[in-house]
Amino acid sequence: MFKLIKELGFRGTMTRFVQGFLALDGVLHLAEVISAYLEEAWTTLALTSIHATIFFIAAYFVGHDHSHHHTSEPEIPNWVDNKPGEYGHDN
């Protein structure tokens, strides 16, 4: 089943769907910001501006894959190969 979902590109489609709705919600928050400005509701203007910014940042980051690719070999820390006394280590 997971292979079928992967072949259909479900993850990419769902990601774009979520990203679009986050952006749409951000646009609606911008309309609230304009409305708050016209009503001179300064606290609402400030809070809604912050919320709209968070939604636009979220819409940007949802579309970017931040997965880490691992190799089959275990990663050896850099300090293991140090000579005695190098970099403050007494190996």
Cβ neighbours for 46, distance < 8 A, ≥ 6 positions apart: none
Q: What does the pLDDT look like over 21-79, one tens digit per residue?
A: 888 888 898 999 999 999 999 999 999 999 889 888 888 887 665 555 555 665 555 55
Q: Three-state DSSP class for 9?
A: coil
Q: Is the pLDDT of residue 6 over 60?
A: yes
Domain boundaries, the chain: 11-64
- How confident is the model at residue 83, as a pLDDT? 58
- CA dist 64 and 8 (Å) reads 19
